[in-house]
């Protein structure tokens, strides 16, 4: 039960089940499937609410469940023993899972995340116990190094190596931090992991703390994720009571405890040094590196920061071995990666795939293709620091190196599918608007550079682009890239550069022809009613916010162009496809 | 006000808090950061008020002005953007007749907020009305929701 499920009415469905079951006195354990999405566990959020029924050893899944369907499911399926065929998930559901390999998400949804006993019953905390009682910190680091695990927060730095730096850094007081400040718009992997399996993150942190020699850990988590915060708090409390956190944990001489710090809403705090400043109660501004946090971090002590997903990979690696983990993925990118597959794809949701899978497999096999069978235009990965990958690159492998080669990044795992209705200049403008707002303002290239990039992009979308603007964007982007202090500024131009690289013609259409090929940029489009198709139903006239549509009932309507604000409401409302989107330029000429 | 501030101060001392945790407590107690609260803490803790101001304006969670009785939040994450969240914002702005740069209606009834991402991308575009989630939201439907808020009860 997460926001996805709640948005789709998951709570109402659960309540109905509870009511119906108590009425029939059925002894079924009603599991509130938990994770970021109600089906972060099951993954296929597009078909929420999903209900999984387990009885007599068989598993059945219903899709699009509504509260009024519950009574029939209980009486016919649970009591009568006959599943209701027409409500069951279809083949698309099977395809969705076919190519996935679940390591991090394996346990999400299998049991109640608010119950430590359930985690333990599934092998939980055995890895931490084994490490603490029988392995040296050096051996743990070697194991993680051998697995080839790289940071899942975006940059892909080898985790074992990072831990080794932390281990070798002199000092008795060290810190380990879990970065759960998932700020990328369009990404919700970390929230899903924490909501679905918080103990896995804690176990990973215990092992990491032991490896580097830290006695205190912090989880820096977004306040915008209230359910995740709540479950994490509960999990930490349970772990303390069980003796897995606190003094002499697992009966060894090792002391370690975790404190939760709530973020206050700043994207830049995903950057390590900014995150540290924020935990110290200051403005989240990055500082120059070196010294790296591994040498001088929180309160100037050696500090290791890893992402949620990275920590969630640790216990499985210890349990199943480095070789097992390294058997997935490519030469340089091992293991699996969780992605939030969203946008114009049929099966949106949370997926976990082996590194090295192709984008085509993700979109067409797992994702089931494009909504309304429209034309795929691009895949955006890496959020505001990433880029757009065009259709002709769909067969590239999804790993750190391959995505970098085409001008994007793996990033934290957002994967947004764009179709022919999306304008690439508008996308670049969208991301620059984001980075401009989130720039901390410390260094000039980022603070002023992103603002200038946005100004130029905005004027292009308004039809005021000038010859030479594309070249200006390119040279400015390269300057910002090379001279910004932190990762935010260094990667902020990526959306601009990658869209220019692959969709230069779209920029040119905006600048030279004052035309938006996708029909998105308002200043460049106009709407017109096709007389022949219009039935005079008046639906458009009723929704028009500026009363720009005139016409009598059952007679063709007309748009008064001077009054039209191009909001597109009529276009979305018309059921007869009688409204045509066209170029403003041509409308003016006519 | 002072009583509430004392509680926050106690909490700060007990839990080894910091500037951010104080401001988070103030925000949750008052719904925004009143200037008087900042001056009070500045005196008590001997920290310049400018430092509070610096932190409060840096993070998006803090508001320096009181917010409306009803909060309408539109998600502007990437998935919502590509599915038309700006249409919802434009529609709501027109309906609320917000003055330029303002996010709250003049009568203090409704605040319109944009957030970076709510992590519910599968139901994009997303809007919240006083915390209740509206998935696959549409501009005209959201305008209707707002009209309901305005109706005298």
- Ordered structural domains, chain B, with CATH: 2-58 (no CATH), 70-150 (3.40.30.10)
Domain with CATH 3.40.30.10 in chain A: 3-98
Cα within 13 Å of Cα(B41), Cβ side: 29
DSSP code of A246?
B
CA distance A136 to A139: 5
Option in B55, B120, B126 nearest A282 (CB): B55
Option in A4, A183, A427 nearest B116 (CB): A183
Cis geometry, peptide bond prior to residue A12 (ω within 30 degrees of 0): no
Residue among A412, A460, A457 at smallest CA distance from A430: A457
Q: Are A376 and A363 in contact (CB under 8 A)?
A: yes
Residue among A332, A313, A309 at smallest CA distance from A324: A313
| Greater pLDDT, A128 or A46 | A128
pLDDT at site A57: 64
Nearest CA in chain B to A367: B122
CB-CB under 8 Å, A3 with B19? no
- pLDDT value at A30 more than 60: no
CB-CB under 8 Å, B17 with A187? no
Least confident of A31-45, A96-110, A285-299, B55-69: A31-45
Residues paired with B105 in a beta bridge: none
If interface means Cβ-Cβ distance under 8 Å, which residues of chain B face chain A? 17-21, 23-24, 54-55, 58-62, 76-79, 81-83, 87, 90-91, 94-95, 115-124, 126, 133-135, 138-140
Least confident of A77-91, A469-483, A513-527: A77-91
pLDDT tens digit sequence for A364-397: 999 999 999 999 999 999 999 999 999 999 999 9
pLDDT at site A347: 87
pLDDT tens digit sequence for A157-166: 999 999 999 9
Q: Are A492 and A485 in contact (CB under 8 A)?
A: no
Signed CA dihedral, A116, A119, A123, A129: sign only: negative
For domain A336-419, give the CATH number: 3.10.20.600
| Greater pLDDT, A548 or A349 | A548
Residues B44-61, mean pLDDT to the nearest whole number: 95
- Which of B11, B12, B57, B82 to mutate against chain A (most A CBs within 10 Å)? B82
Per-residue confidence band for A154, with pLDDT thresholds at 50, 70 and 90: confident
- pLDDT value at A25 more than 50: yes
pLDDT tens digit sequence for B109-143: 999 999 888 877 878 899 999 988 888 898 888 99
pLDDT at site A586: 76
What angle (nearest 5°) sits at the alpha carbon of residue A361, between those of residues A347 and A181?
60
Q: Which ranges of A213-330 does DSSP label H, i.e. alpha helix?
A: 226-241, 272-279, 308-320, 322-326
Cβ-Cβ contacts under 8 Å, B62 against chain A: 264
DSSP, residue by residue, A76-126: IIIIT----GGGB--HHHHHHHHT---SSSTTBTTB-TT-HHHHHHTTTTH
Out of 1.20.1440.230, 3.40.50.720, 1.10.15.40, 3.40.640.10, the CATH code matching A424-512 is 1.20.1440.230
Question: Would you tell me how many other CB atoms lie within 10 Å of the CB of residue A240?
Answer: 14
- The percentage of residues in chain A with a pLDDT greater than 90, rounded to a whole number, is 72
- The percentage of residues in chain A with a pLDDT greater than 70, rounded to a whole number, is 93
pLDDT at site A482: 97
CB-CB under 8 Å, B82 with A344? yes
Total CB pairs under 8 A between chain A and B: 135
Q: Are A116 and A231 in contact (CB under 8 A)?
A: no
Pairing of strands A579-583, A525-529: antiparallel
pLDDT at site A6: 53
pLDDT at site A3: 47
Least confident of A57-66, A186-195, A247-256, A432-441: A57-66
Nearest CA in chain A to B129: A7
Q: In what order do the strands lie in the sheet with B127-129?
A: B110-115, B70-75, B127-129, B132-134
CA distance A308 to A195: 11
Residue among A386, A380, A332, A321 at smallest CA distance from A356: A332
CA distance A549 to A87: 42
CB-CB under 8 Å, A342 with B78? yes
pLDDT at site A94: 74
Nearest CA in chain B to A424: B82
Q: Provide the ipTM.
A: 0.92
CA distance A568 to A525: 10
Quick one: tokens of A31?
């599991």
CB-CB under 8 Å, B59 with A265? yes
Least confident of A494-498, B14-18, B60-64: B14-18
- pLDDT value at A213 more than 80: yes
Option in B18, B76, B79 nearest A343 (CB): B79
Q: Are A413 and A187 in contact (CB under 8 A)?
A: yes
- pLDDT value at A41 more than 50: no
Residues 6 or more apart in contact with residue B153 via CB below 8 angstroms: none
Task: Provide the residue count of chain B.
Answer: 153
CB-CB under 8 Å, A283 with B123? no
Count of H helices and E strands in chain B? 7, 4
Nearest CA in chain B to A188: B119
**Could you confirm whether domain A525-589 is CATH 3.40.50.12280?**
no
Instruction: Give the SS3 label for residue A472.
Output: helix
pLDDT at site A70: 81
Domain with CATH 1.20.1440.230 in chain A: 424-512
CA separation, residue B31 to residues A223, B53, B127 (Å): 15, 16, 20
CA distance A490 to A538: 51
What angle (nearest 5°) sits at the alpha carbon of residue A390, between those of residues A388 and A391?
145
Least confident of A24-38, A530-544, B117-131: A24-38
How would you class B96 by CB atoms within 10 Å of its CB: exposed for 0-12, middle for 13-18, buried for 19 or more?
Answer: buried
Tokens 């369907």 belong to which residue? Answer: A69
| Greater pLDDT, B94 or B119 | B94
**Could you confirm whether domain A116-325 is CATH 3.30.1300.10?**
no
pLDDT at site A9: 65
DSSP code of A383?
G
- pLDDT value at A572 more than 70: yes
Residues 6 or more apart in contact with residue A414 via CB below 8 angstroms: A184, A185, A186, A187, A339, A340, A342, A380, A381, A382, A383, A386, B78
DSSP code of A385?
G
Option in A37, A344, A567 nearest B91 (CB): A567
Per-residue confidence band for A504, with pLDDT thresholds at 50, 70 and 90: very high
Q: What are phi and psi of A256, to 5 degrees?
A: -160, 135
CA distance A386 to A490: 11
Q: Which ranges of B46-96 does DSSP label H, i.e. alpha helix?
A: 49-58, 78-82, 85-96
Least confident of A21-30, A70-79, A182-191, A260-269: A21-30
CA distance A101 to A488: 31
Per-residue confidence band for B102, with pLDDT thresholds at 50, 70 and 90: confident
- Which of A2, A4, A351, A382 to mutate against chain B (most B CBs within 10 Å)? A4
CB-CB under 8 Å, A45 with B122? yes
Taking the CA of residue A258 and the nearest CA in chain B, the distance in Å comes to: 14
pLDDT at site A12: 76
Give the N- to C-terminal CA distance of chain B in Å, as an integer: 30
pLDDT at site A33: 42
Domain with CATH 3.40.50.11540 in chain A: 116-325
Cis geometry, peptide bond prior to residue B46 (ω within 30 degrees of 0): no
What angle (nearest 5°) sits at the alpha carbon of residue B25, between those of residues B24 and B29?
120
Residues A106-116, mean pLDDT to the nearest whole number: 83
Cα within 13 Å of Cα(A299), Cβ side: 9
CB-CB under 8 Å, A380 with B116? no
CATH topology of domain A3-98: Glutaredoxin (3.40.30)
CA separation, residue A336 to residues A110, A174, A192, A312, B37 (Å): 19, 29, 16, 12, 49
**Angle, helix A159-168 to helix A137-147, in steps of 10 degrees:** 160
Residues A115-135, mean pLDDT to the nearest whole number: 95
pTM: 0.91
pLDDT at site A27: 54
- pLDDT value at A37 more than 70: no
Domain with CATH 3.10.20.600 in chain A: 336-419
What average pLDDT does the structure give for chain A?
Answer: 90
- The percentage of residues in chain B with a pLDDT greater than 70, rounded to a whole number, is 99
Catalogue the E-assigned strands of A286-366: 303-307, 336-343, 349-354
CA distance A439 to A291: 22
Quick one: tokens of A379?
């895949």
How would you class B98 by CB atoms within 10 Å of its CB: exposed for 0-12, middle for 13-18, buried for 19 or more?
Answer: middle
Per-residue confidence band for A80, with pLDDT thresholds at 50, 70 and 90: confident
Per-residue confidence band for A8, with pLDDT thresholds at 50, 70 and 90: low
- pLDDT value at B46 more than 90: yes
């Amino acid at each position: 039960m997460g926001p996805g499920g709640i948005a789709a009415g998951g709570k109402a469905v659960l309540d109905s089940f509870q009511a119906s079951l108590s009425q029939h006195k059925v002894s079924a354990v009603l599991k509130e499937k938990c994770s970021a999405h109600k089906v972060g566990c099951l993954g296929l959020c597009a078909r929420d609410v999903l209900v999984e029924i387990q009885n007599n050893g068989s598993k059945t899944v219903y899709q699009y469940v509504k509260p009024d369907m519950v009574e029939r499911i209980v009486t016919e399926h649970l009591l009568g023993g006959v599943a209701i065929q027409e409500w069951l998930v279809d083949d698309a559901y099977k395809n969705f899972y076919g190519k996935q390999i679940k390591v991090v998400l394996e346990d999400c949804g299998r049991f109640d995340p608010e119950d430590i006993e359930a985690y333990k019953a599934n092998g939980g905390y055995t890895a931490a116990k084994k490490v603490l009682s029988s392995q040296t910190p050096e051996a743990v680091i070697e194991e993680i190094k051998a697995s080839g695990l790289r940071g899942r927060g975006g940059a892909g730095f080898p985790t074992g190596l990072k831990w080794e730096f932390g281990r070798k850094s002199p000092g008795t007081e060290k810190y380990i931090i879990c970065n759960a400040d998932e700020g990328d718009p369009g990404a919700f992997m970390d929230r899903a992991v924490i909501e679905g399996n918080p103990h896995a993150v804690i176990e990973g942190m215990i092992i990491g703390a032991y490896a580097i020699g830290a006695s205190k850990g912090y989880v820096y988590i977004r306040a915008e994720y209230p359910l995740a915060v709540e479950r994490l708090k509960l999990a930490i409390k349970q772990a303390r009571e069980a003796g897995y956190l606190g003094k002499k944990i697992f009966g060894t001489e090792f002391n370690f405890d975790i404190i939760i710090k709530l973020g206050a809403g700043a994207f830049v705090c995903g950057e390590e040094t900014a995150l540290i400043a924020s935990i110290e109660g200051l403005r989240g501004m990055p500082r120059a590196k070196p010294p790296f946090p591994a040498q001088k971090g929180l309160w100037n002590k050696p500090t290791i920061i890893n992402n949620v997903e990275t920590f969630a990979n640790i216990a499985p690696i210890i349990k199943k071995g480095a070789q097992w983990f390294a058997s997935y993925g490519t030469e340089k990118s091992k293991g699996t990666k969780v992605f939030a597959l969203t946008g114009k794809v049929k099966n949106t949701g949370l997926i976990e795939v082996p590194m090295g899978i192709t984008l085509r497999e993700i979109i067409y096999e797992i994702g089931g293709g494009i909504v309304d069978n429209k034309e795929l235009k691009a895949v955006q990965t890496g959020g505001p620091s990433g880029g757009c990958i065009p259709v002709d690159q769909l067969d590239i492998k999804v790993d750190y190196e391959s995505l970098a080669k085409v001008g994007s990044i793996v990033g934290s795992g957002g994967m947004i599918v764009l179709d022919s209705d999306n304008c690439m200049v508008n996308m670049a403008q969208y991301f620059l608007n984001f980075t401009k707002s989130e720039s901390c303002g410390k260094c000039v290239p980022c603070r002023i550079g992103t603002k200038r990039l946005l100004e130029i992009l905005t004027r292009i979308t308004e039809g005021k682009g000038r010859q030479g603007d594309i070249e200006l964007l390119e040279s400015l982007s390269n300057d910002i890239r090379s001279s910004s202090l932190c990762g935010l500024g260094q990667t902020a131009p990526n959306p601009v550069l990658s869209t220019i690289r692959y969709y230069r013609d779209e920029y040119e259409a905006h600048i030279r022809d004052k035309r938006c090929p996708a029909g998105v940029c308002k200043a460049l489009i106009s709407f017109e009613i096709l007389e022949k198709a219009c039935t005079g139903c008046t639906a458009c006239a009723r929704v028009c916010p500026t009363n720009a549509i005139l016409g009598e009932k059952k007679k063709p309507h007309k748009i008064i162009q001077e009054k039209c604000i191009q909001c597109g409401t009529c276009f979305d409302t018309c059921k007869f496809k009688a409204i045509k989107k066209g170029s403003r330029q041509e409308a003016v000429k006519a | 006000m002072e009583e509430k501030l004392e509680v926050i101060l106690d909490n700060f001392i007990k839990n080894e808090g910091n500037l951010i945790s104080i401001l988070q407590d103030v925000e949750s107690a008052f719904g925004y950061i009143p200037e008087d609260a900042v001056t009070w803490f500045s005196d008590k803790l001997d920290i310049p008020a400018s430092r509070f101001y610096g932190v409060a304006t840096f993070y998006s969670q803090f508001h320096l002005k009181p917010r409306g009785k009803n909060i309408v939040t539109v998600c502007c994450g990437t998935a919502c953007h590509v599915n038309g969240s700006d249409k919802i914002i434009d529609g709501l702005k027109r309906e609320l007749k917000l003055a330029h740069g303002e996010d709250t209606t003049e009568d203090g009834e409704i605040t319109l907020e944009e957030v970076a991402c709510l992590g519910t991308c599968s139901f994009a575009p997303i809007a919240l009305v006083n915390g209740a989630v509206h998935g696959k939201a549409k501009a005209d439907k959201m305008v209707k929701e707002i009209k309901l808020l305005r109706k005298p009860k």
